[in-house]
Each structure stands twice: as structure tokens, then as C-alpha cells.
């Protein structure tokens, strides 16, 4: 397989048509949930079980966002994190973070058992390993943190397969599953309980008065008492300035058959480049998934090189891995202090709730967010969930990070406009996209295999940074806040609410 192959997530490989109809009329309900990923669907399920009337709307197909492109490890072990959390928040709050995540892991396991959902759930251990001597001090500090927080653990000297390791920290009884099977089963239960789900239904605005009104793209309005903004990047900001306090990062995954022993376990390295590995049931046999190569969205090397690096790693270290028939990438957001934002979108909007910023650990954190927000709606909020309040401000390390994220944004605001592209539009080869010169200006252009040009204004419609060409996924990606657009300029994901302006470089067809 090479970069010309189609990018397809294994979880979404069983092609399916949209199952839920678009919303074609205004209506009134108790709670509107914007976004059909793990956060929105889990919240809808919990609320429906409490007798709350719920409407879920998704701009596209449910589960086609990051949830359909995850590694789907379900764990409270989020790489090395607990030592850092103790330093920034103290031991008590670091322990709360662990408890919330472990409860989410247990809740998923119990719910699957009770509902008897067939979603390839397996209890598995989560491993962090030091791939070299340089990572050993971090591993040792993390072990001390587990000790201090009374998190059960086990230490292993080597990994149960051929990858070099200088020691590992294992959290037992975690889990993994097929996220799409799990959430499709959950959606079946939601609608059976009377909940409503609508695909291809985009929310574009929220107004809070006595009631809350969610405006949809086609002009219909949903009236409700609470909204949960579960759109990954919040589609509505409410002056919460989420774009200035979250950083989008893309990562890559390859998956294929595994011909070694039935190893099991979920692994992540400490040092750079991070490598993440897990095994899974692939069409009835054993499969392996290898991930890593993260970078700020729109700022990496040519994307196909990331897939090649993962393949090279697998070839050198995992002799029993065969051809990787699936490859895909996705992005997730990290907050200034690495804890998610879960709660009121701002202090002024107590009934507009948000959940985002899972730092690539959204299976447990999306579930925990759904529990926290649902509890809040039914009047059972817990004081300790204020740890995730989006309006929190912890000066260390927040200020330094905010400055560095926004300095990086400032650089990209001007960069694309100052640099002259190295090629003219007429020299752009077929199948390629790039910044090109055309009529004395810099534009973004893609030439398809038949020679037809699609050209766009490279100014991101979110806040004006210059979008960059993503060769592997044939998209325009914004390096500032992670918005992504198709070759025709249509929105794929991120905070942008308007498509890129299309530029006519060829006479329109007569
Ligand atoms: C490569 C990678 C690997 C990962 N691996 C793991 C892992 O092993 N374990 C783990 O715990 N986490 C992992 N994560 C993180 C996890 O997958 C995500 O944090 C989680 O899926 C996010 O879920 P979500 O519900 O918040 O968002 P999404 O799944 O992105 O859902 C948001 C939905 O909102 C919809 N939407 C957006 N805007 C609008 C709008 N205006 N109106 C209506 N709908 C809208 C979108 O169409 C989308 O369907 C990984 C992430 C990446 C990128």
C-alpha cells in the first residue's frame, strides 16, 4: 500500500449508508446534543435512561468524526501523566482524575455486559514502556506517582513481543473494543427509548433566553432547556476562546493481520516518536494496530511519510506483522493544562455545556464527560468535577502554553501570505495540490487526474491563517486551530463554520 491508497479507518470499513434522517422541522425537547461521537451518544444514552427527552444532531454521519478513527484503548493510563498532574494540581486532584477515568472504564465494561452488546470488548492490560535509557527517569517518576496515588500497578522488564524495552509500567484490567459496533448498539437503545438522532443536520448557532434555541443550517430551530456541545471542537464558542486554549494534533494509524502469538495488551512508548500498539479481532482472525507520528495539524512533513515511518517501525520491530491493509489519520485537541474542558461553556452560560480536549484519550474521558454533564442536567453534580471546569485557570503551565500556542498561530497568520510559492498554477502536476502563483497572487490549487483544477483562497475562514496542503488525505489543513477543508473548500472538521472561497481559474463551462 502507498500514499495513493484510500485512507480508511478499519472501524468504519463496513460501509454503511446514513441510518438516521436529517431533521426537517423545528421542535421542542429537554436536551439537544450537538455531535454524534462517543461523548454525545453516551450522554444521550444516559439521559434517555433517566427519562429525559433528547435530540442528537450530527452535521455528517454519526461516528464519522474522531471516534470512528481512534485506536480505541479504554484506559485510565493516558501515557505518562500522573506525575505531571501531581506537580500541577496536587495529589488529591490527580487521584480524582484517575478515579473518574477508571470509573468510566468500568462503566463501559458493565454496560456492555448488561446490554449484551456484541462489540469485541476485551479486558486488557495497558502498558507504558521505556523504549530507551533516556525514558527511564520518566518511567520511574510515573511509578512513584502511581505509588503515591495508590493506583494498582505491575512492573515488567520486557514486552511480550520483539520490541526493545528498558522497563514497563502496567495498569491491569483496562479494556479495548470496536468503537463503532459499541456506539451503534448504543444508538439502537437510544432510539428504542424514544431518543431522536438526526444525521446530516448541522447546528450553526445557540441563543440562550428563558429557553435555549439551537439554530440549524437549514433554518429549523430546536428549543430546549440544556445543550451539550459535543462537536469535538466546540462549534459554538460563547466567548470561551476555545481556539486560543486548545491545540489540534494529528496522529496516524496502520492496521493489518498479525501472524504472531496471541499477545494481547495495549502498549504506548514514552519517548519520541511515540508508538502505540494494540491487537484486535480482524474479520475473525488476529489483527494489529500501530499508531503514532503525531504533529500539530497542518504542520507535519508530507503526510505519506508518516505512514511510511509507521510501516518501517513495524517491519523492524514486529516481524509477525503482515501487510497493513488499512491506514488512516485523525486529530484530537489538547488543552493548556492537559485536563479536558467539561462543564458550562462559559460562566455566563450555565445551561450550555461542553466537553472537549481529551488529548487522544477520549474513550474514557468522553464517557466520563457524558456522565458528568448528564448528572449535572438531572441535578446530581459533584463538586470534584470542577477539576474540569472550562473556566478554570491554573497559571502553571497555562500562561506559558497559551503564549506559545498563540505565538505559533501568529506565525501562521502571516506565513502563507509572505512566502512566494515555488510553482505557477500551470506547472502543477496531476494528482498534486500546493500553494501556487496565479495572476500575481498565492492561491491553493489541486489538479485532478483528468487535469481539472480546483482552486481556493488559502485564507482559513475561521481566523485567517493560511491553510496547507495535506497530501495523504487530499485536504487543506489549517495549522492554527485545526480546521480542515476538501479540495473544493468544503468543511471537513474543526472550528471553521464557512467553506474556503472557491477561485475560478478556468473559464466556466458553457
Ligand atoms: C489517532 C487517534 C487515536 C486515538 N486513540 C485513542 C485511544 O486509543 N483511546 C482513547 O481513549 N482515545 C483515543 N483517541 C481520542 C478519541 O478518539 C477522541 O478523543 C474521541 O473520539 C472524541 O470524541 P468526541 O465525541 O468528542 O468527538 P467526535 O468523535 O469527533 O464527534 C464529534 C461529532 O460532532 C459532529 N459535529 C461537528 N460540528 C457539528 C455541528 N456544527 N453540528 C452538528 N454536528 C457537528 C461531527 O460530525 C462528529 O461526528 C484517539 C484520537 C486520535 C486522533
Residue 147 φ then ψ, to 5°: -60, -50
Q: Which residues line ligand 1 (CB under 6 A)?
A: 34-40, 57-60, 62, 64-67, 70-73, 202-203, 230-232, 235, 251, 253, 291, 330-332, 358, 360-364, 366
CA 204 to ligand 1: nearest atom: 41
Rounded to an integer, what distance in angstroms lies between the CA atom of residue 464 and that of residue 483?
11
Across 340-379, b (16+ Cβ under 10 Å) vs e yields bbbbbbbeebebbbbbbbbbbbbbbbbbbbbbbbbbbbee
Q: If you measure from the C-alpha of residue 65 to the centroid of ligand 1, how many angstroms do you get, rounded to a whole number?
A: 5
Q: Nearest CA to 236 among 267, 211, 202?
A: 202
What are the Cα distances from residue 96, in Å, to 86, 201, 392?
Answer: 11, 36, 16
Query: What is the four-CA torsion angle of 102, 334, 10, 179, rounded to 10 degrees?
Result: 30
Mean pLDDT in residue range 175-190: 97
CA 63 to ligand 1: nearest atom: 49
Which of 8-17, 87-96, 369-378, 486-495 has the weakest average pLDDT?
Answer: 8-17
Class of domain 418-503: mainly beta
- The residue to mutate among 9, 58, 339, having the most atoms of ligand 1 within 8 angstroms of its beta carbon, is 58
Q: What is the reported pLDDT for 285? A: 87
The angle at the Cα of 312, spanning 310 to 315, to the nearest 5 degrees, equals 110
Mean pLDDT in residue range 35-60: 98
Q: Is the pLDDT of residue 30 over 80?
A: yes
Grid coordinates given for 214:
439551537
Band of residue 1 on the pLDDT scale cut at 50, 70, 90: very low
Q: If you measure from the C-alpha of residue 69 to the centroid of ligand 1, how many angstroms do you get, rounded to a whole number?
A: 8
- More confident call, 298 vs 49: 49
Name the closest-CA residue to atom 49, ligand 1: 65
Band of residue 473 on the pLDDT scale cut at 50, 70, 90: confident
Band of residue 13 on the pLDDT scale cut at 50, 70, 90: confident
Mean pLDDT in residue range 290-319: 85
Q: What is the reported pLDDT for 412? A: 59
Name the closest-CA residue to atom 2, ligand 1: 70
CA 332 to ligand 1: nearest atom: 53
Which of 103-117, 185-199, 218-232, 489-503 has the weakest average pLDDT?
Answer: 489-503
CA 363 to ligand 1: nearest atom: 11
Q: What is the reported pLDDT for 15? A: 65
Q: If you measure from the C-alpha of residue 312 to the centroid of ligand 1, how many angstroms do you get, rounded to a whole number?
A: 28
Q: If you measure from the C-alpha of residue 308 to the centroid of ligand 1, how many angstroms do you get, rounded to a whole number?
A: 25
What are the Cα distances from residue 388, in Å, to 101, 256, 357, 381?
Answer: 12, 37, 10, 12
CATH number of 10-393: 3.50.50.60
Q: If you measure from the C-alpha of residue 214 to the centroid of ligand 1, how many angstroms do you get, rounded to a whole number?
A: 21
CA 35 to ligand 1: nearest atom: 34
Name the closest-CA residue to atom 20, ligand 1: 362
What whole-number percentage of the chain has pLDDT above 70?
91
Which of 218-222, 357-361, 383-387 has the weakest average pLDDT?
Answer: 383-387
Q: Is the pLDDT of residue 381 over 70?
A: yes
Mean pLDDT in residue range 501-508: 82
Q: 3-class DSSP state for residue 100?
A: helix
Q: If you measure from the C-alpha of residue 364 to the centroid of ligand 1, how many angstroms do you get, rounded to a whole number?
A: 12
Q: What is the reported pLDDT for 283? A: 82
Rounded to an integer, what distance in angstroms lies between the CA atom of residue 487 and that of residue 68?
22
Band of residue 510 on the pLDDT scale cut at 50, 70, 90: very low
Mean pLDDT in residue range 39-46: 98
The answer to whether the beta carbons of residues 347 and 393 sit under 8 Å apart is no
Name the closest-CA residue to atom 38, ligand 1: 231
Name the closest-CA residue to atom 16, ligand 1: 362
Q: If you measure from the C-alpha of residue 302 to the centroid of ligand 1, how many angstroms do you get, rounded to a whole number?
A: 23
Residue 266 φ then ψ, to 5°: -130, 125
The answer to whether the beta carbons of residues 387 and 357 sit under 8 Å apart is no
Q: What is the reported pLDDT for 245? A: 87
The answer to whether the beta carbons of residues 241 and 409 sit under 8 Å apart is no
User: What are 412-430's pLDDT values in tens digits?
Assistant: 555 555 566 678 899 999 9
Q: 3-class DSSP state for residue 443?
A: strand
User: What are 483-500's pLDDT values in tens digits?
Assistant: 999 999 999 988 888 999
- More confident call, 412 vs 460: 460
- More confident call, 407 vs 251: 251
Distance of CA 381 to the CA centre of its chain: 26
The answer to whether the beta carbons of residues 153 and 143 sit under 8 Å apart is yes
Band of residue 401 on the pLDDT scale cut at 50, 70, 90: low
Q: If you measure from the C-alpha of residue 145 to the centroid of ligand 1, how many angstroms do you get, rounded to a whole number?
A: 29
Q: If you measure from the C-alpha of residue 64 to the centroid of ligand 1, how many angstroms do you get, rounded to a whole number?
A: 8
Q: What is the reported pLDDT for 14? A: 79
Q: If you measure from the C-alpha of residue 332 to the centroid of ligand 1, how many angstroms do you get, rounded to a whole number?
A: 7
Q: Which of 15-24, 313-322, 352-361 has the highest mean pLDDT?
A: 352-361
What are the Cα distances from residue 340, in Å, to 169, 270, 356, 395?
Answer: 24, 21, 6, 16
Q: What is the reported pLDDT for 397? A: 57
- The residue to mutate among 34, 37, 353, having the most atoms of ligand 1 within 8 angstroms of its beta carbon, is 37
Domain definitions of the chain by residue range = 10-393, 418-503
Band of residue 122 on the pLDDT scale cut at 50, 70, 90: very high
User: What is the overall mean pLDDT for the chain?
Assistant: 90
Q: Is the pLDDT of residue 286 over 80?
A: yes
Q: If you measure from the C-alpha of residue 233 to the centroid of ligand 1, how many angstroms do you get, rounded to a whole number?
A: 9
Rounded to an integer, what distance in angstroms lies between the CA atom of residue 104 and that of residue 385?
14
Band of residue 408 on the pLDDT scale cut at 50, 70, 90: low
Q: Are strands 221-224 and 27-28 parallel, antiparallel or unpaired?
A: parallel
* HEC sequence for 332-363: EEEECCCCCEEEECCCCCCCEEEEECCCCCHH
Q: Is the pLDDT of residue 449 over 60?
A: yes
Q: What is the reported pLDDT for 50? A: 97
CA 358 to ligand 1: nearest atom: 19
Q: What is the reported pLDDT for 5? A: 47
The answer to whether the beta carbons of residues 22 and 201 sit under 8 Å apart is yes
Name the closest-CA residue to atom 32, ligand 1: 231
- The residue to mutate among 63, 75, 363, 499, having the most atoms of ligand 1 within 8 angstroms of its beta carbon, is 363
Amino acid at each position: 500500500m502507498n500514499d495513493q491508497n484510500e485512507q480508511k479507518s478499519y472501524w468504519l470499513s463496513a460501509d454503511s449508508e446514513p441510518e438516521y434522517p436529517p431533521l426537517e422541522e423545528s421542535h421542542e425537547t429537554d436536551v439537544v446534543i450537538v455531535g454524534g461521537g462517543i461523548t454525545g451518544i453516551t450522554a444521550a444514552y444516559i439521559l434517555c435512561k433517566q427519562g429525559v427527552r433528547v435530540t442528537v444532531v450530527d452535521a455528517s454521519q454519526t461516528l464519522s468524526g474522531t471516534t470512528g478513527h481512534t485506536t480505541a484503548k479504554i484506559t485510565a493510563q493516558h501515557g505518562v501523566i500522573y506525575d505531571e498532574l501531581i506537580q500541577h494540581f496536587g495529589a488529591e486532584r490527580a487521584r480524582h482524575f484517575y478515579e473518574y477515568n477508571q470509573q468510566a472504564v468500568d462503566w463501559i465494561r458493565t454496560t456492555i455486559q448488561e446490554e449484551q452488546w456484541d462489540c469485541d470488548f476485551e479486558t486488557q492490560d495497558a502498558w507504558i514502556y521505556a523504549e530507551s535509557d533516556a525514558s527511564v527517569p520518566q518511567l520511574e517518576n510515573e511509578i512513584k506517582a502511581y505509588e503515591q496515588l495508590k493506583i494498582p500497578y505491575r512492573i515488567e522488564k520486557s514486552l511480550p513481543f520483539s520490541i526493545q524495552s528498558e522497563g514497563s509500567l502496567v495498569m491491569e484490567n483496562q479494556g479495548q473494543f470496536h468503537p463503532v459496533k459499541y456506539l451503534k448498539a448504543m444508538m439502537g437503545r437510544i432510539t428504542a427509548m424514544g431518543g431522536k438522532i438526526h444525521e446530516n443536520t448541522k447546528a450553526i448557532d445557540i441563543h440562550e433566553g428563558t429557553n435555549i434555541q439551537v439554530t440549524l443550517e437549514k433554518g429549523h430551530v430546536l428549543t430546549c432547556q440544556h445543550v451539550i456541545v459535543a462537536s469535538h471542537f466546540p462549534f459554538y464558542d460563547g466567548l470561551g476562546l476555545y481556539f486560543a486554549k486548545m491545540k489540534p494534533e494529528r496522529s496516524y494509524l496502520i492496521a493489518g493481520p498479525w501472524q504472531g502469538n496471541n499477545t494481547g495488551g495495549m502498549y504506548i512508548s514514552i519517548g519520541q516518536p511515540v508508538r502505540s500498539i494494540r491487537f484486535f479481532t480482524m474479520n475473525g482472525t488476529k489483527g494489529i494496530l500501530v499508531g503514532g507520528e503525531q504533529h500539530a495539524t497542518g504542520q507535519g512533513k508530507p503526510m505519506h511519510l508518516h505512514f511510511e515511518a509507521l510501516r518501517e517501525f513495524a517491519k523492524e520491530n514486529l516481524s509477525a506483522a503482515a501487510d497493513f491493509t488499512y491506514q488512516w489519520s485523525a486529530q484530537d485537541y489538547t488543552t493548556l493544562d492537559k485536563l479536558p474542558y467539561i462543564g458550562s461553556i462559559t460562566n455566563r452560560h450555565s445551561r450550555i455545556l461542553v466537553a472537549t480536549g481529551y488529548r487522544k484519550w477520549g474513550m474514557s474521558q468522553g464517557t466520563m464527560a457524558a456522565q458528568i454533564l448528564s448528572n449535572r442536567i438531572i441535578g446530581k453534580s459533584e463538586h470534584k468535577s470542577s477539576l474540569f471546569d472550562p473556566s478554570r485557570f491554573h497559571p502553571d503551565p497555562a500562561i506559558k502554553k497559551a503564549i506559545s500556542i498563540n505565538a505559533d498561530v501568529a506565525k501562521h497568520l502571516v506565513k502563507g501570505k509572505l512566502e512566494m510559492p515555488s510553482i505557477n498554477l500551470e506547472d502543477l502536476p496531476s494528482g498534486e495540490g500546493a500553494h501556487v502563483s496565479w495572476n500575481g497572487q498565492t492561491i491553493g490549487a489541486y489538479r485532478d487526474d483528468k487535469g481539472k483544477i480546483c482552486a481556493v483562497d488559502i485564507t482559513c475562514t475561521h481566523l485567517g491563517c493560511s491553510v496547507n496542503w495535506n497530501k495523504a488525505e487530499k485536504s487543506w489543513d489549517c495549522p492554527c486551530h485545526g480546521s480542515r477543508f476538501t479540495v473544493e473548500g468544503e468543511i471537513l472538521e474543526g472550528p471553521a463554520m464557512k467553506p474556503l472561497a472557491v477561485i475560478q481559474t478556468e473559464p466556466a463551462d458553457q
